[in-house]
Amino acid sequence: MSRRQFTAPTRGGTEPPDDTGCTVLHVDMDAFYASASLISRPELRGRPVIIGGASGRSVVLSATYEARAFGVASAMPMARARRLCPQAVVIEPDHRRYAAISEAVMATFATITESVEPLSLDEAFLDVAGAVRRLGRPTQIAEQLRDTIADEQGITCSVGVASTKFVAKLASTLAKPDGLIVVPREEVVSFLHQLPVGAIWGVGDKTEEHLHRLGLRTVADLAHTPLETLQRALGDVAGRSLHDLAWGRDPRSVVPERREKSIGADETFAHDIDDPVRIHRELLRLADRTAARARSAGMMGRTVSIKVRFSDFTTITRAKTLRHHTDVSRDIFSTARELYDRLGLQRARIRLVGVRLEGLVPSSVAPIQATLDEPEHGWREADRAVDRASARFGAGSVRPASLMPDRPSGSQRERRDLS
């Protein structure tokens, strides 16, 4: 989902929504870092507050909804945020407090169900099918969670209740802040088709512009476009994925995961950098290293995450869960680059970047999804050939061309020889 805000669709009738079979909950804390920081500063509630370093070179970690109304967003340079909202109060981050509250929230989830799939410190999917007989209907469970978190942690959360992960996450986003939206199974299509295409999971600014050029502005437009047309315009995988989501089709189940089950790598630069080309190259290097480690361990993962640490040591993470497990360098890099580009950092000074592959399972049990546009010997086979070459000739003996050291031109070599 992009950062743009959308309004929840209207539903007909006055009867409460039927939550039968809607056992997937997406629970998301509201402006988590900002809300947690205000626990000890209650006098600032209702005012625009920005979380981040006070210096002009810092970036925004989070902001209250009052500050967001002025256009302030996470990962935005602090200098720009102060220009947009000069009356805002800036508070330094308290990462220990955030970790403690996150641990307590996850413990609360565990009292409801064992089927908890954390996505980050402040959000998770829950499958409450096994808790209905004990705790009541899904809506009652959602309300109980919201009350418990508010009473025990002093922060609010928004919950989406649906029959699939995609619709539940979309509903929680539309419910913000401090809300609850239930999408009955029979109303999924009508719910989705009222929304703009930008609300679909995975449609960022560039994809939205492309869809608008095709004349597709609502999810209904997308759903009623022939699949073959979407695949020609967007590619086989993306076209099919968006078409399925437009009809509410999402077969993924909630997969309990331990957040520490991951493989990754990060790099601290010798000097802070702001060149996106260099950062993309480093993401490629880290993705390549992460994928090689996963293959060496016989593991595949479904979630790619990046870590970005700025010059003031403020650190943010972003993650995306793929439709299928992977250990392919190209898949991990393209996702990591997409996550980084979505931040829109505008040449903020960066100290460290990292790439991780999470949600790991043994390669032997992970289904391998072939794509229609992949040749008979595709990227997976190419990666394994690189692994064999590295084992024989040493690590780094084969690498992407963009990671090769820059070589001087002929005239430059001549000048060096003559000097």
Q: Tell me which residues are annotated as active site.
A: 123
Beta strands in 331-419 (DSSP E): 350-358, 361-362
Helix (H, G, I), strand (E, B) or coil at 175: helix
Q: How many CB atoms lie within 10 A of CB 133?
A: 7
Q: What is the bridge-based pairing of β-strands 299-310 and 315-326?
A: antiparallel
Q: What is the bridge-based pairing of β-strands 60-63 and 24-29?
A: unpaired
Residue 28 labelled as part of a binding site: yes
Q: How many CB atoms lie within 10 A of CB 401?
A: 5
Burial of 275 (0-12, 13-18, 19+ CB in 10 A): exposed
Q: Are 61 and 74 in contact (CB under 8 A)?
A: yes
CA distance 394 to 392: 6
CA distance 164 to 184: 10
Q: Are 255 and 249 in contact (CB under 8 A)?
A: no
Q: Are 61 and 33 in contact (CB under 8 A)?
A: yes
CA distance 16 to 301: 39
Burial of 255 (0-12, 13-18, 19+ CB in 10 A): middle
Q: Which residue, chain included where needed, has tokens 């695949």?
A: 231
CA distance 163 to 186: 10
> What is the DSSP code (8-state) at residue 412?
H
CA distance 341 to 49: 25
Q: Are 356 and 294 in contact (CB under 8 A)?
A: no
List the binding residues for Mg(2+).
28, 122
Known binding positions: 28, 122
